[in-house]
Chains A and B, each alone.
Chain A
Amino acid sequence: MFLVTLMAASVAGVAFAHWSDMVYIEGTAEMGELIVGWLDIKFCWDNEDTFDPVKEVGWVECWLEVEETSVHHDPPETVFKEFYMVVHNAYPQYEAGCKVDLKNAGTIPAHIVGLSISDPDGVLTIEEDPADPTHYEIMKDVDGDGDLEAIINLFLYKQETGAPLVCNQLEPCTDEPVDIVLEFKQEAEECHTYRFSIEILAVQWNKAYLFP
């Protein structure tokens, strides 16, 4: 039956054998990475050398935690996700600050789109100064009269220009020296511990428009 069918098809001009060839596409997509982190702490300081007489009363401790290493760079680039700053034995008019480097350790340009500050203990109110985007007032109703008093002034800005961090683009392998400064106000209470957390959000630069 098969042979009869084959012969009949041949008579009708149908051909089964043919030359053939193939081309291939091998697709590889090597994805970049977006890693923004703290590279290192340059130094911390306070203003006690401006007082008369000069004393060593308060002090600042800073350290970095939670390592993240880029797999793309050679040698590998390591940054830290968390920067801790602890001010000890603070008092009104005391000022303390740290100079730290924020780095884009990945391969994709990063755009800093947001910065939020909160109190993990829920006792402080933090407001941005509308006149100065680098200045945040940390406030508390210290005397219980229903009005908030400023207890700490927090400043966060780029060292070189004094401009705010948000709306800045960090190219890969580029670092941005950052200043964080705390100014303690007269309303700050004795023997209290105030805590605050800052989250800095960076996104791939081509999606920054989603965060107007």
Chain B
Amino acid sequence: MRKKMLVLPVVLVLAVSLFGVAYAHWSDMVYIEGTAEMGSLTLAFDYFEPPLCTEYYRDPDTGVLVPGEWLGKEVGECNAWFDELVEDVHTLKLGYKKMYIMVTNAYPQYNAHFVFVVHNIGTIPIHIVDFTFEDPTGQLEFMWIVPPPATPAEGLFYKDFNDNQVYDDGEEIINLNIVNFVCTQLEPCESTKGEIDIDFKQPAEECHTYTFVAEMLGVQWNKAYLYP
């Protein structure tokens, strides 16, 4: 019985060989090891240089902007600061995602200029393609008078007092001038300094609080053509 058990595998192999079945073959393998390390696209307000606010009034005789308020008084006040610290994981550079600007006790013809720096803290070039403004409370509407990429671009917040869905003379509340952002390209590590100038107009209402939100959109530079 034991002999039969030993002979059986040999008989099987011989039988299979007779039918032309082959089990062994030479083979070889080559390998490709691929790694794709993605970059980062991070547009931020500058970590090192805080935003700066300067008050002006326009000299009625010359039209020239003069620092401070009319007759040297301290009436209105402007302030700006950054918030929401971020760190780019590639470059380990820091920046802020939000800038707050605050004007208190404002009055018509009060001018506040905000200067700030935006910084590409990522690793991919950024093309700034859009700058949008809106009033989250819905009481003001925004329209461009001179749209970007002209610089300064000029915009206007107005209040539709007569509810006719369009801007009419006498409805302007805040004039905005925006300097040096749209169509600017920032290489990694590069920054640019820009400016938003606010000018309160005569129809601005007493004791009101006006709020607006601005969004600056930067895209990877090679997709800027999608935003003509």
Instruction: Kindly specify which of A11-19, A20-28, A80-88, A127-135 makes contact with the partner chain.
Output: A80-88
A158 to chain B, nearest CB (A): 15
CB distance B39 to A198 under 8 Å? no
Fill in one digit per residue for A193-210: 1 if any B CB lies within 8 Å of its CB, else 0. 111111111111001001
Interface residues on A, range: 35 or more
**Complexed CA–CA distance, A108 and B27 (Å):** 10
Inter-subunit contact B34/A51 (CB<8 Å): no
* Contact A198/B27 with A51-B221, A90-B37, A93-B220 known, Cβ cut-off 8 Å: no
Q: Contacts of B37 on A, CB cut-off 8 Å?
A: 86-90, 193
Residues of chain A with a CB closer than 8 A to B193's CB: none
A57 interface contact, C-beta 8 A: yes
Contacts of A184 in B (CB 8 A): 36, 38
**Interface size class, chain B:** 20 to 34
A30 at the interface (CB under 8 A from B): no
- For the complex of A and B, the 7 pairs showing the least CB-CB separation, nearest first, are A207-B25, A89-B39, A198-B32, A203-B27, A51-B222, A204-B26, A194-B36
Bound together, the chains give a CA A70 to CA B22 distance in angstroms of 26
Please name all residues of chain B whose beta carbon is closer than 8 Å to the beta carbon of A204 when the two chains form the complex.
25-27
A197 touches B32 (CB 8 A): yes
Is the CB–CB distance between A93 and B222 below 8 Å? Answer: yes
Known interface pairs A55-B125, A81-B29. Does A182 touch B34 (Cβ–Cβ under 8 Å)? yes
Instruction: Give the docked Cα–Cα distance between A184 and B222 (Å).
Output: 13
Which B residues are CB-close (under 8 A) to A139? Answer: none
Residues of chain B contacted by A42 (CB below 8 angstroms): none
Out of B30, B33, B38, B40, which one reaches A37, CB within 8 Å?
B30
Complex Cα distance A180/B25, Å? 29
Taken together as a complex, chains A and B put the C-alpha atoms of A204 and B42 apart, in Å, by: 52
